[in-house]
Amino acid sequence: MLTHGKNRCYKLNHPFASRYSFMSLGNLLHQIGNRLSPNTHYDDGEPLPGELTLALLPVWHITERTFELWLLSRGCCITYSSIRTFKEDLAKYKPQWLVLVPRVLEKIATGIQDKFASGGMVVKLLVKFFTRIAGFRASHFKISNQLVVGYHPPSDRQVIQSKLLCAALSPLHTIGTKIVWSKVQNGFGGRVKAIICGGSALASSLESFYEICGISICVGYGLTECSPLLTHRQKDRNLVAGGSVGQPCIDTEIRIVDPSVDSTSTVRERSSLPLGQIGLIIAKGPQITAGYYKNMQATKNAIDQFGFFDTGDLGRLNPATGDLIITGRCKDTIVLSNGENIEPSPIEDAILAQISMIQQVMLTGQDGRSLIAIIVLNINELVEAGFLDGKLGKTLQKNFDKVNDPKCSEDDCTLGCSILNEESENLRKNHVLVSVLMNQISQATVGFRKWEQVGSVLLTLEPFSMCNSLLTQSYKVKRDAVLKRYEGHIQKIPQ
């Protein structure tokens, strides 16, 4: 704990970070006032005394710390778990509330989907049928509640039609929940009211999966410097869509401004771009840090003279609902040799949402003629499609899981990566596999512009994980580290 003047402040960030935000108790206390369901009766949507959360994130993580303060202020209980025991602890403690990062939700969803895929023909048909029913009902449920992405809310006629369709599908959906989706809900302990998700972008494919399963996920958006929440999705008006991060927190102003305007040289407040237009996200509110510890220049670069914090993220406000939608990050922008600027996140999202053979993907191609996709393949799907022998697949999956475990030792990680990379070389030479993937990627990205299409792929079985230093402890892909790891391979790809 640090002392600054009369304010007691915390040094908040990873213990080994070189730059610290200077967080006051007032910044943190602001977050306690946020309500998850502000449009309904308190007892219907908020944590109640005695309810429990199962903590998985490290306690120094600002998301976990603030979430714990939020729950403790409501008289809730906290039980601490770990990656190794999380599954067992869910069954044992049956939490009502969870705060998870997308990577954990992804691993859970993959495990459930693999279990469904390994079932008999009847199971597969039932899952497929009820998935379609639940997906169709979910899309019309959002329309009936006017929770759509677009410039205009749905008309009264569309709302009535969607409500009637939801009512007609309700009996089938109830049966599907009892036969199929209750098993997924029971996997979380059977009592979860909502899962709070933050730390990095949540893929739209995961959004759709959990929405179909009947599990409410409320995405929050912010940064360590913002204690961390700037916006969050509300449980009682949850716009489930890729990149959607909800409404501003209490007493918080969000603006979308022109990213080319230099905040340090302007003498006026940066004005908002037209509603719906993509730009740089800046924010102002009681939760934002006073600055960086003993680093005035960094503070000046991040917070302008009017108190607006530069998030470094790109986004837009959804005209139909007012929700903030994240579209990418300024520093992640890929500039091709033709001068076109590309935000990789929406394209990566579309690929992951539609191609089961791809487990992780990262786009690159800076100063090149086209995009290159670095793809981590799904081993079980490769076996299912006939690109890998079943026995070999089991060996590779065992090593994949080992490398993906944050507790994996350095020696086990080195050995596991070596085995996975040896087979990766063989798969890169499989022209049929490459052709199949390129066709699937073309179909998945059909709605994007010509220069946003993937020109080539680099295949690997080695996951982006913590133990191989390709993933942060908040489960974000380290783009620079991934590029450095595969730099030699990328240079060999013809552009």
Average pLDDT over residues 304-329: 93
User: Which three-class secondary structure state does DSSP give residue 217?
Assistant: strand
Residue labelled with tokens 């133990």: 467
Average pLDDT over residues 298-318: 92
Q: State in words which class domain 333-492 has.
A: alpha beta
Q: Give buried/exposed letters for 122-131 (b at 16+ CB in 10 A, else e).
A: eeeebbeebb
How does residue 15 score in pLDDT terms, banded at 50, 70 and 90? very low
For residue range 355-374, list pLDDT tens digits in order: 999 999 999 998 888 999 99
Question: Domain 1-329, what fold?
Answer: Rossmann fold (3.40.50)
- Residue 402's Cα: distance from chain center in Å? 23
Q: Give the pLDDT confidence score for residue 397 in this predicted structure.
A: 94
Q: Give the pLDDT confidence score for residue 145 in this predicted structure.
A: 95
Q: What is the DSSP string of 2-71?
A: EEETTEEEEEES-TT-S--EEEEHHHHHHHHT--S-TTS-HHHHS--TT-EEEE-S-TTSHHHHHHHHHH
- Cβ contact 270:258 at 8 Å: yes
User: Does the structure show a pLDDT above 90 at 470?
Assistant: yes
- Cβ contact 245:232 at 8 Å: yes
Residue labelled with tokens 């019309």: 140
User: Does the structure show a pLDDT above 80 at 129?
Assistant: yes
Cα–Cα distances in Å, from 172 out to 113, 127, 137, 177, 215? 21, 13, 10, 9, 18
C-alpha angle 231-233-234 in degrees, rounded to nearest 5: 120
Q: What is the DSSP string of 346-375?
A: HHHHHHHHH-TTEEEEEEE-TTSSSEEEEE
Q: Give the pLDDT confidence score for residue 495 in this predicted structure.
A: 64
How does residue 331 score in pLDDT terms, banded at 50, 70 and 90? confident
Strand partners, 464: none
Amino acid of residue 218: C
Of 288, 293, 287, which is closest to residue 29 (Cα–Cα)? Answer: 287
Q: Give the pLDDT confidence score for residue 427 in this predicted structure.
A: 95
Strand partners, 374: 362, 458
How does residue 92 score in pLDDT terms, banded at 50, 70 and 90? very high
Q: Among 23-37, 167-181, 274-288, 334-348, which is the least confidently predicted range?
A: 334-348
Beta strands in 174-308 (DSSP E): 194-197, 217-222, 229-232, 247-248, 253-257, 279-284
User: Does the structure show a pLDDT above 70 at 20?
Assistant: no
Q: Give the pLDDT confidence score for residue 4 in this predicted structure.
A: 34
Average pLDDT over residues 429-445: 95
| Mean pLDDT over each residue of the chain, to the nearest integer | 89
Q: Give the pLDDT confidence score for residue 7 in this predicted structure.
A: 40
Q: Give the pLDDT confidence score for residue 371 in this predicted structure.
A: 95
- Cβ contact 363:336 at 8 Å: no
Maximum average pLDDT range among 115-119, 151-155, 197-201, 346-350? 151-155
* DSSP H or E segment with residue 168: helix 156-176
Q: Give the pLDDT confidence score for residue 3 in this predicted structure.
A: 30
* DSSP H or E segment with residue 326: strand 324-329
Average pLDDT over residues 84-99: 94
How does residue 381 score in pLDDT terms, banded at 50, 70 and 90? very high
For residue range 237-290, list pLDDT tens digits in order: 999 988 899 999 999 999 999 988 887 776 789 999 999 999 999 999 999 999
Tokens of 178: 């009892």
The residue ranking higher by pLDDT, 293 or 220, is 220
Beta strands in 198-240 (DSSP E): 217-222, 229-232
User: Does the structure show a pLDDT above 50 at 1?
Assistant: no
Of 432, 255, 453, which is closest to residue 351 (Cα–Cα)? Answer: 453
Segments making up each domain of the chain, as ranges: 1-329, 333-492
* DSSP H or E segment with residue 125: helix 121-144
Quick one: 77 exposed, middle or buried, by C-beta within 10 A (0-12, 13-18, 19+)? middle
User: Does the structure show a pLDDT above 50 at 5?
Assistant: no
User: Does the structure show a pLDDT above 80 at 200?
Assistant: no
Q: Give the pLDDT confidence score for residue 415 in this predicted structure.
A: 95
